[in-house]
């Protein structure tokens, strides 16, 4: 999609070389590209799950594509219906998770909701994400919750996030 000049086989090989090392491997995944199909997105999720099976030290936060000027994908986003902000305030709102609610783009509301759910679930689905949690109580809650999040991520059941509502109450 973004022409990284690597093959899936290369990713598997690198992952195998990194497996068993004493450090975490973080794969930043991006979904929601202009022209990306639901099948493409599911294949990316399946790739993450397979890589994590082979390397328990790997984790996979999924982020949603953001069209930035000067990048090859920006023009493609325009071609797919993205309308760029017209002023500086508009560009400030252009951030990875929330920009799509402000600007026209190529995704339906349902597809956009799916991307946001994959994004959220990916941050709590993998055990190594706990490294980012310093609070002991939250770390314990994560330890309890994480297997459920992984199950949902693996089986692509991304909706009904009760934890989103709990966190929203606290913020």
Average pLDDT, the chain: 84
The pLDDT value given to residue 1: 63
Q: How many residues does the chain have?
A: 171
CA dist 35 and 4 (Å) reads 16
- Between 17 and 117, the more confident residue is 17
pTM of the predicted structure, to 2 decimals:
0.83
Backbone angles phi, psi at 73, to 5 degrees: -75, -15
State what percent of residues in the chain have pLDDT above 70.
87
For residue 110, the surrounding DSSP H or E stretch is helix 109-125
Place 124 in a pLDDT band, splitting at 50, 70 and 90. Answer: confident
Provide mean pLDDT across the span 36-56.
94
Q: Please name which of 91, 111, 113, 110 lies closest in space to residue 102, comparing C-alpha atoms.
A: 91
pLDDT digits (tens, 9 = 90+) for 140-165: 988 998 999 899 889 988 776 665 65
pLDDT of residue 170: 44
Question: Distance of CA 130 to CAs 2, 21, 142, Å?
Answer: 30, 18, 7
Of 66 and 44, the structure prediction assigns the larger pLDDT to 44
Report which of 82, 137, 73 is spatially closest to residue 106, judged by C-alpha positions.
82
Spatial separation of the C-alpha atoms in residues 105 and 80, rounded to whole Å = 7
Q: For the chain, give every domain's residue range.
A: 8-170
Buried b (16+ CB within 10 A) or exposed e, 144-157: eebeebbebbbeee
Q: Hey, is 151 helix, strand or coil? A: helix
Secondary structure tally for the chain: helices H, strands E: 7, 4
Euclidean distance between CA atoms 5 and 8, whole angstroms: 10
Each residue's pLDDT tens digit, 86-119: 888 877 777 645 666 666 678 888 888 888 889 8
Q: How far apart are CA 47 and CA 67, in angstroms?
A: 24
């Amino acid at each position: 999609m973004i022409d990284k000049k690597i093959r899936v086989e290369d990713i598997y090989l690198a992952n195998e070389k990194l497996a068993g090392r004493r450090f975490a491997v973080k794969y930043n995944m991006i979904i929601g590209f202009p022209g990306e199909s639901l099948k493409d997105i599911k294949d990316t999720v399946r790739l993450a799950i397979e890589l994590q099976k082979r390397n328990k030290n790997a984790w996979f936060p999924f982020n949603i594509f953001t069209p930035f000027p000067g990048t090859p994908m920006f023009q493609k986003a325009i071609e797919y219906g993205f309308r760029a902000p017209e002023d500086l305030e508009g560009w400030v709102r252009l951030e990875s998770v929330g920009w799509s609610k402000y600007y026209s783009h190529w995704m339906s509301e349902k597809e956009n909701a799916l991307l946001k759910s994959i994004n959220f679930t990916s941050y709590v689905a993998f055990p190594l994400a706990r490294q980012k949690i310093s609070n002991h109580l939250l770390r314990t809650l994560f330890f309890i919750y994480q297997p459920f999040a992984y199950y949902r991520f693996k089986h692509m059941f991304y909706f009904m996030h009760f934890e989103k509502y709990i966190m929203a109450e606290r913020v």
